[in-house]
Amino acid sequence: MSTPESPPARVPRHVAIIMDGNGRWATARGQGRNAGHRAGIQSVREVIRAARDLGIEVLTLYAFSLENWNRPRTEVSVLMSLLEEYLEKELDEVIAHDGRVRTIGRLDRLPASTRRAVERAVARTADNHGMQVVFALSYGGRAELVDAARRIARDAELGKLDPESLDEKGFAAYLYAPDLPDPDLLIRTGGEQRVSNFLLWQIAYAELHLSDRMWPDFRRADLEAAIADYQRRERRFGLTSEQVRPGSGTSEPGAR
């Protein structure tokens, strides 16, 4: 990512990915949609390895949205089975690299066997300190905000919170994973150009990279290309270019 003569390239701390295109990938090959979902597992495996090698601290993968529950029952069942299979087969490698598995979303809607597999993975890696892999499962950005608002309302009713004192930092503390840094880079595969209800609060200042590559074809080189694109960006956070240039005395929040 950088030459020996150049300073170390700026690596995003947190990369979030909307993994899109499995169904269209399969259809283009005359196969059923589930073949695309299974092929996408290899991309998950390779992208996690590549992100770890690149020094990314947090990788959040949009694995299953709340809206996905409306898909055909057979497709949902296959997706749940693939998640269980992935966690069973890949967890040892994650642990070997001190990785930590986390989840965000309304997990109570997951089938019992899937929920148990997820809970085991989270528990087995809870004390690890390497890259955090966050699976967004049964997740929706609007639902996360609603859930946060409900918890805030309950705390206010119990006298634990003064609503007049609530600011952005205080609100963010009620999100699913408030300890995580906001994504620096949001990647969407599959050629679509929307955020699909993903991390609506957290991506307020994320850099967006839209890839035409379908998720089953997305590999290390594609992730590196997205990061190289990110490194060419000037992240101003509402400031001027002069304020964020080296030597100006102003640094970029959440970047390194």
List residues with catalytic annotation.
Answer: 20, 68
- DSSP E strands, the chain: 14-18, 58-65, 100-104, 132-139, 185-188, 207-210
How many residues are given for the chain? Answer: 256
The C-alpha angle 45, 205, 233, rounded to 5 degrees, equals 80
Give me the residue label for tokens 């770890």. 52
- Which tokens is 223 given? 């992730």
| Contact between 76 and 147 (Cβ < 8 Å) | no
CB atoms closer than 10 angstroms to residue 133: 23
What is the rounded distance in angstroms from the CA atom of residue 203 to the CA atom of residue 209? 12
Residues with Cβ within 8 Å of residue 65, at least 6 apart in sequence: 136, 138, 139, 140, 196, 197, 198
What is the rounded distance in angstroms from the CA atom of residue 6 to the CA atom of residue 147? 46
| SS3 category, 128 | coil
The two beta strands, 185-188 and 14-18, are parallel
